[in-house]
Every structure is written in structure tokens, then in C-alpha cells.
Amino acid sequence: MEILIDNKDLKEVYGIMTLDHTQALGIASERVNERTWADKSGVDKNISNIRYDSKDFSLSLICKSTTYGDAYLKVKSLTDYMFSKGVFVLSIRDLENGLRVAFLCERSNDIVPSINIREQNSLYVFKIGLKDVNPNALVYYTTIEDNEVNINYTKGRNAFLYWGDGSRGEVSNSGTYTKSDYTSNGLVDVIIDIDKDVTDTDALTCDFEADITSGIKSQDVQFTDLSTGDIVLWSWDFGDGLTSSEQSPLHTYSESGTYDVSLQIFNITNGSQTTIKMSYIVVRNARMLVNDSGDFALKNNSDYGLIN
């Protein structure tokens, strides 16, 4: 039986072993019939989407030490890590018997308000209280290969992503998310802090085009939104200090220059995606034309319109 905190084996890293983990498995068994709440929006705590209906449980643990002081330092190292992270991934694995359970947890001071280490025949016994903060979180059981792991997220909603090694990121849209700085290979439990039963949102894909990308001063450019997804807001930056919230705006470039154009789109769940096209629009002061005699002449924009 392996007990891991953020993919760190308690026995190997902290010198701590499990004595009783049945409370955790009892909570895991309740997930057959998912608990639901009237309000699934959650509340912010430790920059994480902690649910109101979080549930307390405890793990009974032991460690071998030559002295009480040494045992205390081992336990303190573990609890300090828990408090420093606020929220972490707890994993229980017995792969020989096909058991692999993962929780999104925080330390609980309700069920075990303080750590009481007791000596029993050179073994030091103690309990740690934990809180299962989101039983409906999406769990990805995967493997680190070449210090990299990928997950495919399909909900298309903003959520916190726990990579199983203590680091945390964010997801905002459906797609593949990659982390490539693990220090070792092996099993990892990746958890996204969002109710797994929440409805999917179409993935956002941000793209656009312009009817013309080069011209002369006072050039009108028609931008067309090519994005897909449940979009509710468009935010354009034309690169000349002007912006627009229209879906497909018409914009006039009044000064010469080379302009980057960006579009950011948002869906109803506050997911967003941005596309930037560098040096996309080029505007000149004048235009070189060929006259009837075949000679080149530089003509001002005020004299000649745009010639295609």
C-alpha cells in the first residue's frame, strides 16, 4: 500500500507509513453516487475552488525513529509541506490489487486539531486530519514519461489544475495541457478542480482574417471573425492604439506603419483565447503607380484611390 502526497511517497520521502487508511476508502466509495450541491460555484480559499460540502477524514500513520525528536521532525516536515501548498493531491495505491484512489485535499484542523505523536515499541504513531475538498474533481491517472505528462481536458471551463507534484496551473478551455519539468518518471495523479458532471462547453478556437493586409493611409480594413465556440465577447486590438468589441469590425488606419493585430474571445464560463498576428497590417504614405507612358510615378493617397 502506497500513500502519496503530490506524487511523493510518504515512506520514501518522509519515512512515514500508513497504519489505517479505511476512512479515506470509505469516502471514496461514496463517489459511486456523486454528492451534489445546490451551489456548484464553490468559494475561493487558498486560491483554490474549495467546495462548501468538503468532508473530513483521517489517516493513521507510523514512523520509525531512534528518538521522539527525530520522529517529530519527520511529521513536521510532512505537515509543513501540506500547509505550504494549501491544497494537494492525496493518492492511495495498491496496484497489485488494482486499487488507485486520488483525492484533492487540504489539512483539516477539525477532525485532528493537533498532531499527537505516541511511542509504541520504537514506532511512533500519529493521525493527520484531512479534508476532501472536491470529490467531484476530474482525475487523470497517467504516467510521466521523459519528465513530461499530457492530459486532455474537455470541459472548456476555467479550473485549477493540480499536476501531482506540488505545482498548480490553470485551464480555461478544452484542449491538451502539457507539463514537462518533472524530476523523475512514474505514475502521477493529475486533478482538475471542477465538478466532473458539469456540462461541457464547446472549445474556443480564436482566428480572424482581414480583406486587405497592405495599403495606404486612411485605408479601410474589414476584419472578419473566424472563431468557433460559445463566444459572448470579442476584444480587438488593431495595434494603432484603437480597439473594438464588435465581432467583425471595420477599421481605418490613418497613419503609416506596420501593425500587430490581436483578437481575444471569451465564452460564457469566462474561458478565453487570444490570437496575435504579428506585422499583419502594413500601411504606407503613398503608392507607386505606372502612368500611360510606362514611367513610374509616386502618387499621393489624396490624388489616387486604392488600385487593386
Is 81 a residue whose pLDDT tops 70?
yes
In a domain, 203, yes or no: no
> For residue 287, what is the domain's CATH number?
2.60.40.10
**Contact yes or no for 142/168 (Cβ under 8 A):** no
Question: CA-to-CA distance for 288 and 300, rounded, in angstroms?
Answer: 9
The pLDDT tens digits for 210-221 are 999 998 888 899
In a domain, 177, yes or no: yes
Same domain, 128 and 29: yes
Mean of pLDDT values over 22-44: 55
Same domain, 101 and 244: no
The pLDDT tens digits for 133-181 are 888 889 999 999 999 999 999 888 888 999 999 999 988 888 899 999 9
Same domain, 155 and 247: no
Same domain, 246 and 167: no
Quote helix, strand, coil % in the chain, to nearest 5.
10, 50, 35
Is 41 a residue whose pLDDT tops 70?
no
In percent, the amount of the chain with pLDDT more than 70 equals: 84
Q: Residue 262's pLDDT is what?
A: 96
Q: Residue 38's pLDDT is what?
A: 39
Q: Residue 291's pLDDT is what?
A: 54
- Structurally, the chain folds into a number of domains equal to 2
Q: Which of 142, 151, 141, 147 is nearest to 184 (CA)?
A: 147
Helix (H, G, I), strand (E, B) or coil at 188: strand
Same domain, 235 and 91: no
In a domain, 227, yes or no: yes
Print the domain residue range for 239.
Answer: 208-300
Q: Residue 209's pLDDT is what?
A: 96
> pLDDT tier at 247 (50, 70, 90 boundaries)?
very high
Q: Which three cell numbers stand for residue 210?
A: 482581414
In a domain, 306, yes or no: no
In percent, the amount of the chain with pLDDT more than 90 equals: 52
Task: Single out the residue in 195, 220, 242 at which a domain terminates.
Answer: 195
In a domain, 215, yes or no: yes
Q: Residue 33's pLDDT is what?
A: 42
Q: Residue 14's pLDDT is what?
A: 94
> For residue 70, what is the domain's CATH number?
2.40.30.200
In a domain, 255, yes or no: yes
Same domain, 261 and 294: yes
In a domain, 243, yes or no: yes
Q: Residue 46's pLDDT is what?
A: 39
In a domain, 185, yes or no: yes
Same domain, 103 and 33: yes
